[in-house]
Amino acid sequence: MVIENKDRSWGMVIDTDKCTGCNGCVIACQVENNVPLNDQNKFERGRVMSWMRVERYWEGEFPDVKARFIPIPCQHCANAPCEPVCPVYATYHNNEGMNIQVYNRCVGTRYCANGCPYIVRFFNYWEPIWPEEMRNHLNPDVTVRSRGIMEKCSFCIQRVRRGARKAKEENRELKDGEITTACQDACSTQAITFGDLNDPESKVSKLSKDDRSYTLMPQFNTDPNVIYLASIKVNKEESQEEKAQSHD
Ligand code: SF4
């Protein structure tokens, strides 16, 4: 049964102004997608695996400095630099705007990871080891990957497929907001929105046209399906002036 809908373009909008850097999305992604556990050894070797990371940066000058955060998953680029370099077509673009990774086709050349400017692809250098007490915690909807293959954020494709199947069984169209990703569900500030960018009425589509919207590294012309909303800068002097005026 083919469930793909040719008119869709799944995308994500991440509001950096709402992100508090709590890393809840990172943990939710790890649990949902059976991402191998990272230990001290992996950190020391620079081999940490995480389909989503939250980068921290500083804005302003001391003492008027503020910590800012930006969560970074696979950008699911329309012009993905990782796709043409794969010699076995293990990574390709589907007709729903997603960058797909076919695990059992991957031969581990890692060309795709070198081609990705966002550094969101991870190679399994080791066979993942799951503690005995966690074996029943693995998500049965997601393949447990083995050593020697490349992996990355899939936009929780198992959830997308489940939602599409359910809509089809009920003989109706998918509703906006019906499918959510694990990172989106975990975000306490609702900084993450997921949906169909081709639907002009979807929340994600409207947010993507916000004045604050931007994409990462536009100079590479990758045309990502992950769109960011810029954080709002408050001019301290102006806001103090406004406060003073409101007290007058
Ligand atoms: S869960 Fe939400 S607030 Fe926390 S780091 Fe992720 S995007 Fe930011």
Q: Which of 27, 187, 229 best tests ligand 1's pocket when mutated (most atoms within 8 Å of CB)?
A: 187
Helical ranges in the chain per DSSP H: 24-32, 40-44, 111-115, 157-169, 182-186, 203-208, 236-247
The tens digit of pLDDT for each residue in 30-56 reads 999 999 999 899 999 989 999 999 999
Q: How many whole angstroms separate alpha carbon 50 and alpha carbon 222?
A: 22
CATH value of 10-247 in 3.40.50.20, 3.40.50.10490, 3.30.70.20, 3.30.300.90:
3.30.70.20
Closest ligand 1 atom number to CA of residue 22: 4
Q: How many whole angstroms separate alpha carbon 192 and alpha carbon 188?
A: 10
* 10-15 and 192-196 beta bridge pairing: antiparallel
The tens digit of pLDDT for each residue in 203-220 reads 999 999 999 999 999 999
Indicate if the pLDDT at residue 4 is higher than 60.
Answer: no
The tens digit of pLDDT for each residue in 129-162 reads 888 888 788 999 999 999 999 999 999 999 999 9
* 122-123 and 99-101 beta bridge pairing: unpaired
Indicate if the pLDDT at residue 2 is higher than 50.
Answer: no
The answer to whether the beta carbons of residues 68 and 231 sit under 8 Å apart is yes
Question: 5 C-alpha to center of ligand 1: Å?
Answer: 30
User: For ligand 1, atom 4, which residue shows the shortest CA distance?
Assistant: 22
Percent of the chain with pLDDT over 70: 92
Model confidence at 62, in pLDDT bands (50, 70, 90)? confident
Q: Is the CB of 24 under 6 A from ligand 1?
A: yes
Q: Is the CB of 221 under 6 A from ligand 1?
A: no
The tens digit of pLDDT for each residue in 101-110 reads 999 999 999 9
C-alpha of 22 from chain center: 15
Closest CA to 204 of 137, 237, 155, 141: 155
Alpha carbons within 13 angstroms on the beta-carbon side of residue 218 total 5
User: For ligand 1, atom 8, which residue shows the shortest CA distance?
Assistant: 19
Closest ligand 1 atom number to CA of residue 192: 7
Closest CA to 33 of 123, 157, 195: 157
Extract the tokens encoding 163: 């939602």
pTM of the predicted structure, to 2 decimals: 0.90
Tell me what pLDDT residue 239 has.
Answer: 60
Q: How many whole angstroms separate alpha carbon 193 and alpha carbon 198?
A: 14
